[in-house]
Amino acid sequence: MSHLLEVKNLQTEFKQSKGILKAVNGVSYHVDEGEIIAFVGESGSGKSVTQYSSLQLIPTPPGEITGGEILFEGHDLLKYKPTGEEMRKVRGGKIGVVFQEPMTSLNPVLTIGRQLEESIRLHLKLDHAASHARAVELLGKVGISDPESRLKEYPHEFSGGMRQRIMIAIALSCEPKLLIADEATTALDVTTQAQILELMKNIVKETKTALILVTHNLSIVARYADRVYVMYAGEIVENGTTEEIFKSPSHPYTIGLMNAVPSLTDPKDRKLVPIEGFVTNLVNRKDQCAFLNRCPYAEESCGTLPDPLLKPVEGEDNHFAACHRKITKEAKRTKAAVDSTREVKAFTEEAKKDPILKVEHLKMYFPVYGGMLHKEVGQIKAVDDVSFEVYRGETFGLVGESGCGKSTVARTVLRLNHATDGKIIFDGNDITHLNDTELLPSRRNMSMIFQDPFGSLDPRQRAGDIVMEPMKNFKLKMTREEMDHRVEELFRVVGLDPAYRDRVPHEFSGGQRQRLVIARSLSTDPSFIVCDEAISALDVSIQAQVINLLEELQQQLGLTYLFIAHDLSVVRHISDRVGVMYMGRLVELADWKSLYDHPMHPYTQALLDSVPVPDPDVEAGRETKIIKGEVPSMMHRPSGCAFSSRCPHATEACRREAPPLVEKEPGHRVACILA
């Protein structure tokens, strides 16, 4: 049987000053009509380069496709010139691509209509009227309301989820046979992610378009993919049906990925098991297993054998793994394993009498200016009457969609914003209106770990100076020698070699940079740390390392965390109590078990329904419920309950009056009249 796309022994190399980097090393795979396949693996494993090679989108030089065949509908695409007419007909015409970051993929100075119609006219040769009608049809198809008027708007006038829908509309504009989604939902909220993936899944069903999902999110794979290809160091190390891969993973790397992923179905005391070490340098790589230096099952003989090839897994016809040994989840490790359990804290009533942070009726409004005279025309109520406590030694999770006010709460609590109203009581002191000098003693005891470790580090400073800088800023009574000793101590605490202190940020990996940010946040010996999406941009294995590190530091140093994230599985794993925010207000607050086992607010229920579980059997038995619609504008909030415009249970009473946050059960507060 012929496949829609069949790739045979693909090889892509990049010439570097130190040698040849084999980014794609003998990769073979296929996709059939109407099928969803997934490519998974850590950053740098070759997933995206493999897909861009099939479209001849590799920059030359330094890149070059040095071998293989790419058969699409029976024609070898490598025989076409990369800039030739035949290849242009394939790109965007027969094969569409949805990129990871829609804002950089869309032209900011052209309207959405112009960009959509350009692709349609180029490939379908339609006139202006016909291409306009097709653009209107496509926007409606991807769920954007009032498509006729919205074609006249620019990319910045749409939300992140809507921009991704537009990217899908452009990719579908010429009715492609194959759609490639390259990390298309990585930066999106769990609800928007679910909407986008359900949209693509329905398109596959209706049009028989094949879909390739490139992702590092195994939960998405379990919910949507028919087959899975696991990539590591430019090679496919395992492939099979989704059920086979999750039920009986047969390569140590696949098993490692699964052990590193938190799930809503995990026992609370399960400790995440990261994959230790770093990817082998692929420049002038040796002919041996690339995973050898990180493999917990490796034996001495593995180092003497050539690079293993894919071979059938015993007893499974369509399941292949590239390993010299027969490995299962139950196989005995040759290296010491990480302890699989962790301590779960239980807060007594005595502990609750000592909150390190109390936020009372906090408001943070931002003025909006407009008109010829630049007058204030309105306000954005980013945080609107929020109250909560954080107990000493606990992790308080804060979740919600982008734009709900989570990060604004964090920045206002740390006094990076000046609160419009309300009180912030830290360590027994009201710090709401203190000036910079008065705030200094309290500020030393609070710190922040930002989402983007590279963006929050000075690229010109050495790592040791970055960690030392807060000690100088707060004028700690330490000699230079004592500060040097403290820097070395902090490097060891976060798992970095003190010898790295003379490196600059770009010389560290993503996980190492986040460890460096954590070391800096600890340098003044704070008692309270805000983790603002601190793990969102990391691979699953590095994410597991950072989560374990935060837990260990909390136990050793007695730290308190305000943990902000949109990944509800991670928040469940690390948090003791959780607050759910929607449009600037807390809608539910409870301990982790009450909130996840018995969510009372319709928004919390919808968030949890949107979270996929990394288990195909569980996903097969779940009904996928998606929140309809987009988050309303903060400038034009719905009257009454802010969620009433999207809530399936809303009544007229809900639309009249905004419900307060009240205690429905001991410790469980909800802002819903129907709860």
Q: What is the 3-state secondary structure (H, E, C) of 18-44?
A: CEEEEEEEEEEEEECCCCEEEEECCCC
The pLDDT value recorded for residue 645 is 87
Q: Is 352 a residue whose pLDDT tops 70?
A: no
**Global pTM value:** 0.87
Instruction: Please give the full DSSP string across 508-554, using - where no structure is assigned.
Output: S-HHHHHHHHHHHHHTT--SEEEEESTTTTS-HHHHHHHHHHHHHHH
Backbone angles phi, psi at 398, to 5 degrees: -130, 120
Q: What does the pLDDT average to over 271-281?
A: 81
Higher pLDDT, 283 or 56: 56
* Spatial CB neighbours of 135, under 8 Å, sequence gap ≥ 6: 113, 116, 117, 120, 147, 151, 169, 173
- Residue 392 corresponds to which tokens in the numbers above? 């000493």
Higher pLDDT, 160 or 517: 517
Q: Is 350 a residue whose pLDDT tops 70?
A: no
Q: Is 104 a residue whose pLDDT tops 60?
A: yes
Instruction: Please give the full DSSP string across 77-138, using - where no structure is assigned.
Output: GGGS-TTSHHHHHHBTTTEEEE-S-HHHHS-TTS-HHHHHHHHHHHHH---HHHHHHHHHHH
Q: Is 625 a residue whose pLDDT tops 80?
A: no
The pLDDT value recorded for residue 351 is 61
Highest mean pLDDT among 136-140, 422-426, 495-499: 422-426
Residue 327 CA, chain-centre distance (Å), reads 29
Worst-scoring range by mean pLDDT, 122-126, 591-595, 663-667? 122-126
Residue 647 contacts residue 658 (beta carbons within 8 Å): no
With bands split at pLDDT 50, 70 and 90, how would you rate the model's confidence at 358? very high
Q: Which residues pair with 420 in a beta bridge?
A: none
Q: What does the pLDDT average to over 261-290?
A: 84
Q: How far apart are CA 384 and CA 409, in angstroms?
A: 10
- For the chain, what percent of residues have pLDDT higher than 70? 97
Instruction: Please give the full DSSP string across 561-599, using - where no structure is assigned.
Output: EEEE-S-HHHHHHH-SEEEEEETTEEEEEEEHHHHHHS-
Per DSSP, 632 falls in state P
Q: What is the pLDDT of residues 4-36, one digit of tens each?
A: 999 999 999 998 888 888 889 999 999 999 999
The pLDDT value recorded for residue 106 is 87
- Hey, how many other C-beta atoms are within 10 angstroms of the C-beta on 110? 13
Backbone angles phi, psi at 585, to 5 degrees: -130, 150
The pLDDT value recorded for residue 9 is 94
Which residue from 89, 30, 78 is spatially nearest to 53, judged by alpha carbons? Answer: 78
Worst-scoring range by mean pLDDT, 30-39, 227-236, 494-503? 494-503
Q: Is 368 a residue whose pLDDT tops 80?
A: yes
The pLDDT value recorded for residue 197 is 87
Name the helix (H) or strand (E) containing 69: strand 63-72
Residue 674 contacts residue 649 (beta carbons within 8 Å): yes
* Spatial CB neighbours of 648, under 8 Å, sequence gap ≥ 6: 602, 628
Backbone angles phi, psi at 22, to 5 degrees: -90, 90
Q: How far apart are CA 452 and CA 235, in angstroms?
A: 29
Strands (E), 264-420: 311-312, 320-321, 355-370, 375-391, 395-399
The pLDDT value recorded for residue 172 is 82
- Residue 126 corresponds to which tokens in the numbers above? 């339609």
Q: Is 341 a residue whose pLDDT tops 80?
A: no
Q: Tell me the pLDDT of the chain averaged across its residues.
A: 87
Q: How far apart are CA 186 and CA 462, in angstroms?
A: 31
Q: What is the pLDDT of residues 427-439, one digit of tens each?
A: 999 999 999 889 9
Higher pLDDT, 279 or 640: 640
Q: Is 127 a residue whose pLDDT tops 80?
A: yes
Q: What does the pLDDT average to over 295-318?
A: 88
Which residue from 181, 294, 326, 312 is spatially nearest to 244, judged by alpha carbons? Answer: 312
Q: What is the pLDDT of residues 141-154, one digit of tens each?
A: 777 777 888 888 88
Q: How far apart are CA 295 and CA 253, in angstroms?
A: 7
Q: Is 279 a residue whose pLDDT tops 80?
A: no
Residue 602 contacts residue 647 (beta carbons within 8 Å): yes
The pLDDT value recorded for residue 141 is 78
- For the chain, what percent of residues have pLDDT higher than 90? 38
Q: What is the SS3 assignment for 460-490?
A: CCCHHHHHHHHHHHCCCCCCHHHHHHHHHHH
Per DSSP, 344 falls in state -
β-strand 585-591 against 577-582: which pairing, if any? antiparallel
- Measured CA angle at 592 (ends 215, 419), to 5 deg: 90
